[in-house]
Structure 1
Amino acid sequence: MSSLTVSEKRKAFRQLHQSGCFVIPNPWDVGSAKALASMGFKALATTSSGYAWSNGKPDGGLPRSEVLAHMRLMAEAVDLPINADFESGFADTAAELEESVHLAIETGVAGFSIEDSTGDAQSPLMPLDDAAKRISVARSAIDKAGGDTLLVGRAENFFVGVHDLDDAIARLKAYSEAGADCLYAPGIKTREQIKAVVDAVAPKPVNVLIGWDSDLTVNDLAELGVRRISLGGALARAAWGGFLQAATALSREGKFKLGAATPGAELNALFK
């Protein structure tokens, strides 16, 4: 149970976005959150995919009620600010989105993101004006609640197969103008793409996703002007990779290839 107040966590989280560069890794349950908190990270972020997989569901397959309960659980689990992956806000109308944002704030998270994907393969992105309006609605709801919860605007272009950097930047700029505190275009990978996004929305902070085996380091990203670095479902995928590899060897070969299994005594000491 966290000993810091929600207000203290939100204040610390906002301060992290003022200067420098920090890594905000993504746990998927209380155990992984506590493990990461013990390593000196200054903030953590939920992962919609990682949590969904732990429930036997695909990314995006959980209802709002379960996601909100998970957000509350994670916010209460550690003495660190938690940023929540709140997907597209679980809302079709402005009124529904305002309600969703109010419920998200009540969970105690320090910040959350609203994305612009539709889930429709034929039309994967919301129209820009509609998506920007949703950020404005979320901003207004946060301000009514005191304004200390950080709002992240996400342009999902590269995640949904629309590899159009100019459009992604136009979206991020619109979300910034609509009141987003931090901007995020998951899926951009090259130095040129990252620098273009950072420059376009300056002085607002930018989050960059490092999903797997990037040759960029934290220092590289800091030099490009990135303020925070998240991993999305990558840590969950790493955990699932080890589990599935060991289980597959057992089921297909009858061999106990448990790999780099952490000793039980070490895990007991970690969670003591």
Structure 2
Amino acid sequence: MESHSRERARRFVELHREGCFLLPNAWDVGSARILQEAGFPAVATTSAGVAFSLGRPDHDYFAEHGPAGRVDRDTMMRRVGEIAGEIAVPLSADLEDGYGEAPEVVASTISMALAVGAAGGNIEDFTGDRARPLYDQALATDRIQAARAALDAGGEPFVLVGRTDALLVGGSLDECVHRANAYLAAGADCAFVPGAGDAATIATLVRELDGPLNVVMGLTGNALSLDDLRALGVRRVTVGGSIARSMYRHLLSAARELADQGTFSYADDQLSQTDLNQLFQPGPDQTRH
């Protein structure tokens, strides 16, 4: 790992030590640069946003779209590397299930993410198989343990996040707690439980988990603010694919206006060419590979 990437990764590790921070999710270099410009101390990728930018589905059961519809590991790693190479803040990568069931595959995925400049990454237990939506807890734990071993062997700073999708597939809060704690014990630095969106559920997770908690906001909008989440004891807040979905909503509205009405009012609310040029002007500390 180059010295600049190592320093970014160290800063990212420190963000997880105490307090609460917002880690917004980008899907390409442009979106990451805008989030960096807004002043966030780090940026994450969203597998949903990357998939949508490539015209692919995300986080679905494979039978609905076929395994070929999923973004493959090499494509995702190229995108992660592109983003990491064009921003000055740390980047955490959404690595889905590690792109394979075997712990050895997950370890390889983590090593690849580290090599392309990621300062952290999620590994989830969602399988994409409706008959078995989550990996067996023992196997899921082995997968996190393999990822941790790969990182320890490399000796570089990296925030490993163990994600359980139990709530998203109808599981209980108790199952989420058991799984998340197993992942933390196996070497994850932070637990991630998507689907936990109300104060009572989040408070229970903060109380019962043996490590920092990441929650995702913006799935459908939420009454809880960052201050509320900080008061509950949440360590890290992400927004998943919600910014990307919002952008695509505007794109779809513009397309429908053009196709159905032949009018151009969508253009009344846009960033100017000058504004975007200024936003995307490389700074003196811009990292480029």
Superposition TM-score, scaled by structure 1 size: 0.95
RMSD of Structure 2 on Structure 1 (CA)? 1.4
Alignment partner of 1:71 out of 80, 87, 92: 80
Q: Which stretch has the larger CA shift, 237-246 or 257-266?
A: 257-266
Q: C-alpha displacement at 1:147, in angstroms?
A: 4.5
Corresponding residue for 1:207? 214
- Distance in 2 separating the partners of 1:174 and 1:96: 20
Instruction: Indicate the residue corresponding to 2:58 in structure 1.
Output: 59
Would the alpha carbon gap of residues 122 and 257 (structure 1) be closer, same or farther in structure 2, given more than 3 Å must change? farther
1:135 to 141, 144, 150: 144
Q: Deviations over 1:72-123 (max 9, x none)?
A: 1111111101010000001222222222222121111000010001101122
Read off the aligned partner of 2:30 and give its amino acid letter: G
**How much has 1:263 moved relative to structure 2?**
1.7
Task: Name the stretch that deviates more: 143-152 or 216-225.
Answer: 143-152
Q: Does the residue aligned with 1:151 lie in a helix, a strand or coil?
A: strand
Larger mean CA deviation between 52-61 and 32-41 belongs to 52-61
Question: What do the CA deviations read for 1:35-81 (whole angstroms, capped 9, x no partner)?
Answer: 11011100100000001100111115111000111111111111101
User: In structure 1, the residue corresponding to 2:265 is in which secondary structure?
Assistant: coil
1:170 counterpart residue number: 178
Which residue identity lines up with residue 122 of structure 1 in the other structure?
A: A
1:248 equivalent in structure 2? 256
Corresponding position: 1:8 with 2:46:
no
Corresponding residue number in structure 1 for 2:47: 48
2:110, 2:121 within 8 Å by CA — same for their partners in 1? no
Q: 1:263 aligns with which of 241, 264, 272?
A: 272
Partner of 1:157: 166
Give the aligned partner of residue 25 of structure 1: 24
Change (3 A) 1:139 1:83: same
- TM superposition shift of 1:131: 0.5
Following superposition of structure 1 onto structure 2, how do residues 107-146 of structure 1 map, counting pairs within 5 Å?
107-146=116-155
Aligned length: 268
Q: Name the TM-score, length of structure 2 as normaliser.
A: 0.89
- Tell me if the contact between 2:6 and 2:156 (Cα under 8 Å) persists in the aligned partners: no
Structure 2 segments unaligned to the other structure (5+ residues):
60-69, 282-289
Match of 1:83 among 74, 92, 109: 92
Larger mean CA deviation between 57-66 and 78-87 belongs to 57-66
Give the ranges of 4+ consecutive aligned residues of structure 1 lying more than 3 Å apart after TM superposition.
Answer: none
The answer to whether the 8 Å contact 1:250/1:257 transfers is: no
- Unpaired segments of 5 or more residues in structure 1? none
Q: Which residue of 1 aligns with 2:192?
A: 184
